[in-house]
Amino acid sequence: MADHSFSDGVPSDSVEAAKNASNTEKLTDQVMQNPRVLAALQERLDNVPHTPSSYIETLPKAVKRRINALKQLQVRCAHIEAKFYEEVHDLERKYAALYQPLFDKRREFITGDVEPTDAESEWHSENEEEEKLAGDMKNKVVITEKEAATAEEPNPKGIPEFWFTIFRNVDMLSELVQEYDEPILKHLQDIKVKFSDPGQPMSFVLEFHFEPNDYFTNSVLTKTYKMKSEPDKADPFSFEGPEIVDCDGCTIDWKKGKNVTVKTIKKKQKHKGRGTVRTITKQVPNESFFNFFNPLKGKSDEDSEFTLASDFEIGHFFRERIVPRAVLYFTGEAIEDDDNELEGDEEGEDEDDAEINPKVGNFGATQTYLLCYTLRLLKMFPTLRQ
């Protein structure tokens, strides 16, 4: 039988517990009076993260109810914003029709089908006066030689290798082009952008027009980018503008032995039973710009996500920069402008103090659209943030 001793009618174990509690309280008081301990505790408290969500959790129910009402309004704002971008797309389609006659004439000059008039060829450069003075001095010294050289100067048709030169000038494109792609791209005569018709799902098509060549029978290669401009029902607050959701290429009808997107390899194979060795040949994928017209489908690994995101970026760059400003990428002037913009960004120039580049203009709807598209890419492919 257990021995329970008593002191003044109180069990001894209760007395012992009370003593321990008293000692603990005294020890706590002593510790809390130590300045070093208090400083350490304060530091721990200062480092505790105070997130917005933790703050929201502390609010009264009535306030949370009003916050939910604000979120309802935010969803409605997102749907209005989606309509805004749909109208931007309609405006782009409208003005694309106004640009097209100029782009058609551009093609005629490039291919040499039409020769520009003297008035159409007149252009005043920024350094025209200096160039004129230098030219006059040079003419006085070598006028006879210059006349002879002019008489012998070749006059090729149009502007040779116009689009191929743009591919070489732009790093984003030149990285895709292999040496065996180059002779094919020299046959590229035009690149067009076509927008989806009114009432149709939002999309745009890149058309690459080629002259007859020894590589494929297609006269036009196409790449279609499908977009959507509507908030996600499951996550409406993620909406930041139209996003490219898919893309389709086209079938290239390669002539025999001319397909640069595949290569033939030979492999020795040993028969398990007989021990004989035979050589087999098979075709495997080959790096080429023309893989651009055969986009990846149905894969979700990190490499394919990166490839798809790069594909979207290239398609958008053709649409927003290359096609509208082709001559400036041919001469390199647009590339210099792009480099200057990057340098300005790297210098961390204050936005309020930055001067507006007259060649670029204000940050308009198209630039806003491109920025939203880039942000959407980062959300679609989170591995790109790393």
C-beta of residue 81 within 8 angstroms of C-beta of residue 88: no
Contacts of 184 (CB under 8 A, 6+ apart): 210, 213, 215, 260, 290
Q: What is this structure's pTM?
A: 0.69
190 and 302 in a single domain? The answer is yes
5: three-class secondary structure by DSSP: coil
54 and 96 in a single domain? The answer is no
C-alpha to C-alpha distance for 382 and 244, rounded to whole angstroms: 16
99 and 51 in a single domain? The answer is no
C-beta of residue 85 within 8 angstroms of C-beta of residue 369: yes
246 and 179 in a single domain? The answer is yes
C-alpha to C-alpha distance for 111 and 162, rounded to whole angstroms: 9
Answer yes or no: is 230 within a domain.
yes
Answer yes or no: is 169 within a domain.
yes
Answer yes or no: is 187 within a domain.
yes
Answer yes or no: is 26 within a domain.
yes
Answer yes or no: is 283 within a domain.
yes
C-beta of residue 332 within 8 angstroms of C-beta of residue 58: no
The total of structural domains in the chain comes to 2
Q: pLDDT tens digit string along 198-253?
A: 888 899 999 999 999 999 999 999 999 998 888 988 888 888 888 888 899 999 99
Q: For residue 35, give its domain range.
A: 22-58
Answer yes or no: is 382 within a domain.
no
Sheet holding 203-210, edge to edge: 188-195, 203-210, 220-228, 243-248
| Rg from Cα positions in the chain | 35
Q: pLDDT tens digit string along 104-130?
A: 999 999 999 999 999 999 998 766 666
Question: Closest Cα to residue 264, out of 280, 278, 252?
Answer: 280
Q: Give how far Cα 350 sits from Cα of 343, 355, 357, 360, Å.
A: 13, 10, 15, 18
In order along its 386 residues, the chain shows pLDDT tens digits of 545 554 455 556 666 666 666 666 666 666 667 777 667 766 765 665 667 777 888 888 999 899 999 999 999 999 999 999 989 999 999 999 999 999 999 999 999 999 999 999 999 876 666 656 656 665 655 555 555 555 577 889 999 999 999 999 999 999 999 999 999 999 999 999 999 998 888 999 999 999 999 999 999 999 999 988 889 888 888 888 888 888 999 999 999 999 999 998 888 777 777 777 777 888 889 999 999 999 877 566 676 677 777 888 999 999 999 999 999 999 999 987 666 655 655 555 554 444 433 333 333 444 444 455 454 544 544 444 44
CATH code, domain carrying 313: 3.30.1120.90
Residue where one domain finishes, among candidates 322, 340, 358: 340
C-alpha to C-alpha distance for 297 and 308, rounded to whole angstroms: 9
Beta bridge partners of 254: 216
215 and 288 in a single domain? The answer is yes
